[in-house]
Structure 1
Amino acid sequence: MNIPNIKINEKYTNGKNAEDLYSIFGKEYLEQIQRVISDVTGLAFVTIDYKGQPLTEMTNFSKRCKYIRQTPMHKKICELSDASGAIRAAVSKKTSIYFCPFKLLEVAIPIIINDKYLGAFIGGQAICSDPPEKILRMQDQLLLEEIDFSKLDFFDEDADAKKYTYREFESTVKLVELIISELVKREAISSYHEKENKSKIKALEEKLAQVEEKNLELKKKISSINNTVNLLFLNNMMESISNLALIEEAEITSKYSEHFRKFVMNFIDVESNSANFIYKTLIEYFKMKEIQYRDRLKYEISIEDDVRETKMPFKSLITYVIIMSYLGLNFNEDDYEIKVHLKKDSEYFIAIIEDNGLGISEDSFERFKSTHIVSTEIEDINKYLRQMEEDSLNIFSGDLQIKIEENSKNTKIFMKYRLNS
């Protein structure tokens, strides 16, 4: 597999090359990108620099790997395998898929900008039952014949492990490559411009510092909530891609993948916050669900022209829509209908969400739990929603109002935000 050498025109960089991955993304954003990709794919990931040193904490570490690394010698073998995979990808400048010595499928995706190797995404820890014969096996490469791997019992550790066919794993890696490539292009150009313009915008930054502090606090709150539900909802979407590949034509899977890519790119973008941006993100989400559920899903989404460029200081609207439609489509046999309308009323921005699902209030969640066997993630949804509402209302004081109305047939959420506050 071959991730392209990312070319960036010198007119965007003034002839300067990127120094490292931190200079492009920053540690916090790099951690967030890795976390979302890991949650979406179900694979473990870590990001390393060009020296092979980790830049981030490992995400979604598998039980088998935790068990293996309890033994110092085995831990050294794992680290040697990771380093070998990264070196192989760096030298060949190609994505490398291989088996670690403990029979888990791994991948090393190099990040190369204008022929300069900056680091790599290392991950995988997946169980694969149908690998091709040509796949590289680190056990052979590292000459580990003296270790009897057959004595290692992984049954308990593999009970909840992520399992892929080789084709599914390869397709997932290609999607990750595409996401990384697009993010690197955008962030590399953005980082060059940011450095060039720092002296010009210093005065503006001082004036906006108070507002930015307020927004940053809420972004962190919303990001924490979104990351919690990512595993449940985004991983569900990723599994849908694999299922569609088995039962549908490739064209349908391609369309789903493209909508999914756009949705993920928008979902992890913490800077864009216009009403039109939220609208476009929801369009991509509904198009994915439409492919997945076909005639069972009926949706309407509209936005009035005079609010398209209105800045929304929160993305909780997307969280509401994802949770409402997930519950309505997965725990209700009837056709599911949802409507979203964004408009302006005098000095207020107003968002209205209406559906015929199971409800989203605290009472509705209690009724739902009394009639369904639910996972830990779903049990926590109510708590996170209430926390999101409380934090949003506290941060924006009287500028934001959230109202939920429910009856036996539908749920309606009103979100009202004072403009120019």
Structure 2
Amino acid sequence: MQKYNSFALGEIVNTKILQEIQDKFCDATGLAAVIVDVDGKPVTSPSNFTNFCKMIRANPIGLARCMASDDKAGRKAMEKQQPVIYHCHSGLTDLAAPIIVNNEYLGAFLAGQVILPQDGDRRNRLWFQTADLGFAPEVVEEITGVITVVPENRVKAAAQLLYIMSNYIVEMGVTNITQRQLMTEMKAKADLETMLKASELKALQSQVNPHFLFNTLNSIARLAMLEGAERTQNMVYALSDLLRNNLRDLDQLSTLRDEINSLRDYLLIQQVRFGERVQAYIEIREDLQDMLVPVMTLQPLVENAIIHGLEPKKEGGVVRVSANVQDGRAVVTVADSGVGMSPERVRQIFREEKRAVSRGQTTGLGIINVHKRIQNHFGGEYGVIIDGQPGKGTLINVHLPYSRCNY
């Protein structure tokens, strides 16, 4: 496999971050997506793949064709130094955005699995182009009948967005590796975990041009509005606000009101993914919403409840966010009806403080990170308390100083 400074793509890039952005992109646009390396092999788990493509990839010959098609498309995008739109070997419309670092091709961000309006009889040709794989015509007809028809200008806009986000994050990954190596060589005596967190934030803020990224997202949202795609418009705006919130300095304080607004953006995106499987309720009195909390306090906790508590349950469940005052201190509660967790798992979460910051799906911030930041701001008597039992859901109480709640 091709290397960059002795690192493979999966070592240079924080693939969890790419997976998170890939998943969010698919939730917002409805397109399928996957990231591949220089050989066309997947680096991330496929998101939102059509049943037609899943069926083809389940066939060894079909999978080999898909990988060859992905590899060819990625290299074509590299040659052009820009995203390309193409027809895959099966006949669906796909797009490829190259991942390039210092003029070196590391892989591609692939999306699509749709049909363009001008393709006309494209559905009829899907079976003919995969007939030798032995699929029953009636099965192919059924699963291709629900493949989305997407205007070409929306596909092009999606390609540009993928290209911007993937390449900025790749650059951030390379910078983080360099910084980590330098810190090791210098044998810094400062707390390594704090330094890494600070360097990651600085790398992100120095390499990503937030105005350019958000202007691109807003352009896509306006395009969706002109095309009457109100749901897509709302999703793109929510993603834009969520990314803007994630770029804030984690050492700052925020009002609970702002945290709630950010949480609503996150829940809007997750609602598209999970539908009725996940129900979320925010029940916080108006008079408590001006209290001060560390930035990014609520979202990582709700995210943990959804991803680790509710998603594993076939029927889903409910997460509730509430707040009250107990014994002179504010307590914010995140309760879910998910799979729960054992006392040993609770102890393990807090033992991770000595090893590494556990990471969430979207924010990159785990429960322990929220706990530590609260204690850094307000003292060791405050923080996160977890109460969970297997099969009976999880209750997270966040204790904060009520005397510091008002400006």
TM range (shorter): 0.5 to 0.7
Distance 1:318 1:78, change over 3 A: closer
Could you tell me how far 1:88 is from its partner in structure 2? 0.5
Distance 1:280 1:107, change over 3 A: farther
Could you tell me how far 1:110 is from its partner in structure 2? 0.4
- 1:84 matched to 2:39: no
Given candidates 290, 295, 301, the residue that maps to 1:316 is: 301
Using the TM superposition, name which of 91-100 and 20-29 deviates more: 20-29
Question: When the two structures are superposed, what TM-score results if normalisation uses the length of structure 2?
Answer: 0.53
**CA offset digits 1:312-360 (Å, max 9, x no partner):** 5981246789xxxxxxxxxxxxxxxx998899997x664379xxxxxx8
* Secondary structure in structure 1 of the residue aligned to 2:164: helix
Given candidates 177, 182, 195, the residue that maps to 2:181 is: 195
* Secondary structure in structure 2 of the residue aligned to 1:55: coil
Distance 1:54 1:351, change over 3 A: same
Given candidates 322, 338, 354, the residue that maps to 1:383 is: 338
What letter matches 1:62 in structure 2? T
**CA offset digits 1:175-201 (Å, max 9, x no partner):** 333332443343333332222113456
- 1:172 matched to 2:158: yes
Unaligned runs of 5+ in 1: 1-15, 133-138, 213-238, 291-296, 322-337, 354-359, 362-381, 404-412
Question: Quick one: distance in 2 between partners of 1:184 and 1:345?
Answer: 48
Q: Does the aligned pair in 2 maintain the 1:303–1:341 contact within 8 Å?
A: no
Q: Does the aligned pair in 1 maintain the 2:84–2:96 contact within 8 Å?
A: yes
**CA offset digits 1:69-105 (Å, max 9, x no partner):** 4555444433332222111111111101111132211
Name the residue aligned to 2:242.
Answer: 263
Q: Does the aligned pair in 2 maintain the 1:49–1:118 contact within 8 Å?
A: yes
Unaligned runs of 5+ in 2: 121-125, 198-219, 269-281, 307-319, 352-381, 388-394, 402-407
**CA offset digits 1:237-275 (Å, max 9, x no partner):** xx98876342499xx95x9745522414756x9x95875
* Identical-residue share of aligned pairs (%): 18
* Secondary structure in structure 1 of the residue aligned to 2:118: coil
1:18-97 matched pairs, under 5 angstroms: 19-97=7-85
Distance 1:207 1:91, change over 3 A: closer
Question: Quick one: distance in 2 between partners of 1:152 and 1:193?
Answer: 55
Distance 1:25 1:80, change over 3 A: closer
* Secondary structure in structure 2 of the residue aligned to 1:157: helix
1:124-273 matched pairs, under 5 angstroms: 124-130=112-118, 152-153=137-138, 154-158=140-144, 160-200=146-186, 244-247=225-228, 257=236, 259-264=238-243
Distance 1:20 1:258, change over 3 A: farther
Q: Does the aligned pair in 1 maintain the 2:256–2:289 contact within 8 Å?
A: no
Name the residue aligned to 2:93.
Answer: 105
**CA offset digits 1:265-312 (Å, max 9, x no partner):** 756x9x95875499766545657999xxxxxx9x9794545x447x85
Name the residue aligned to 2:313.
Answer: none
Distance 1:205 1:35, change over 3 A: farther
Name the residue aligned to 1:328.
Answer: none
* Secondary structure in structure 1 of the residue aligned to 2:225: helix
Name the residue aligned to 2:314.
Answer: none
Q: Does the aligned pair in 2 maintain the 1:266–1:281 contact within 8 Å?
A: no
* Secondary structure in structure 2 of the residue aligned to 1:123: strand
Distance 1:54 1:288, change over 3 A: closer
Name the residue aligned to 1:215.
Answer: none
* Secondary structure in structure 1 of the residue aligned to 2:338: helix
* Secondary structure in structure 2 of the residue aligned to 1:90: helix
Distance 1:286 1:100, change over 3 A: same
* Secondary structure in structure 1 of the residue aligned to 2:227: helix
* Secondary structure in structure 1 of the residue aligned to 2:115: strand
What letter matches 2:300 in structure 1? K
* Secondary structure in structure 2 of the residue aligned to 1:164: coil
The RMSD of aligned alpha carbons is: 5.6
Q: Does the aligned pair in 2 maintain the 1:45–1:121 contact within 8 Å?
A: yes
Distance 1:340 1:389, change over 3 A: farther
Q: Does the aligned pair in 1 maintain the 2:109–2:166 contact within 8 Å?
A: no
Q: Does the aligned pair in 1 maintain the 2:52–2:144 contact within 8 Å?
A: yes
Q: Does the aligned pair in 1 maintain the 2:256–2:291 contact within 8 Å?
A: no
